[in-house]
Amino acid sequence: MKLSRIVSNQNGVSRKRANALIATGRVAINGHLCRDAQQDVSEFCAVTVDGKTIQQARPSRYLMLNKPAGYLSATIDDTHPTVLELIAPNLHDDLHIGGRLDRASTGLLILTNDGNWSRRLTEPVVKIPKVYRVTTEHPITEEAHRRFAEGIWFEYEQLTTTPAQIENIHEREARVTIYEGRYHQVKRMFHAVGNRVTSLHREQMGKIQLCDTLPPGQYRPLTAEEIASV
């Protein structure tokens, strides 16, 4: 929301008066004076006018979870356990999932209450790399490498995927990097080349890498550096 709108709405003054308060240096965001009435201000920022708080900063939450198999990437479900059940209730605070994994898949899952931040992390147009360790039913062929690098046509979305990379680990195991994160993308790409994914484990999203020391089902807050990397 624009700073002028916050000052007007929360301080009970006209938009013109709000602009004047801002221009004369009487408004601060997180303790820093701001003279730009068009400054975007998130709900996680404190806003004051003449030292009086008119918007409290809402606590932001950014969590890394090592998702175990068997949990839905959802906040509520009538049938299956959800990943939110692995998080302490006092941390829930409107948490949502930034980049889902299906119930059988494991690894890095991000939970946050910051919608703008999670959109930057997951939207296909941003093209943040996502790295998965994949096991397949059949050996991974050179054709799969070529097709992934060219991009694979998805009939349902009527689009070709952004070129992806396969790094072989063993005959039926590889590290796959994609840049979009579309619905079941890795599994659908392997299906398109005549193979089937038997296990999928996400290791990394952008510069956020799953901690080797974080056991399945456990979580930790993201560091300031990890949050700023998105």
DSSP designation for 60: P
Nearest to residue 133, comparing CAs of 179, 181, 195, 200? 200
Residue whose token pair is 């959109």? 119
Nearest to residue 221, comparing CAs of 132, 113, 115? 113
- Residue pair 82/93 in contact (Cβ under 8 Å)? The answer is no
| Model confidence pLDDT, tens digit, residues 37-61 | 999 999 999 999 999 999 999 999 9
State residue 101's pLDDT score. 96
Nearest to residue 134, comparing CAs of 180, 175, 190, 178? 175
> Quick one: pLDDT band at residue 105, thresholds 50, 70, 90?
very high
Q: What is the C-alpha separation between 117 and 192, in angstroms, rounded? A: 32
| Model confidence pLDDT, tens digit, residues 174-224 | 999 999 989 999 999 999 999 999 999 999 999 999 999 999 999 999 999
Q: For the chain, state the CA radius of gyration.
A: 22
Is the dihedral angle over the CA atoms 92, 180, 69, 216 positive or is it negative? negative
Residue 165 CB coordination number (10 Å): 15
Q: Flag whether pLDDT at 63 surpasses 90.
A: yes
pTM exceeds 0.75: yes
The rounded mean pLDDT for the chain is: 95
**List 77, 93, 94, 102, catalytic entry:** 102
When pLDDT is averaged across residues 87-104 and rounded to a whole number, the result is 93
Q: Let me know if 77 is a catalytic residue.
A: no
Q: What percentage of the chain carries pLDDT values higher than 90?
A: 91
**All domains of the chain in start order, with CATH:** 3-55 (3.10.290.10), 62-224 (3.30.2350.10)
Is residue 10 helix, strand or coil?
A: helix
> Quick one: pLDDT band at residue 11, thresholds 50, 70, 90?
confident
When pLDDT is averaged across residues 154-176 and rounded to a whole number, the result is 96
β-pair partners for 133? 175, 201
Q: What percentage of the chain carries pLDDT values higher than 70?
A: 100
Q: What is the C-alpha separation between 95 and 81, in angstroms, rounded? A: 16
- Residue pair 86/219 in contact (Cβ under 8 Å)? The answer is yes
State residue 47's pLDDT score. 96
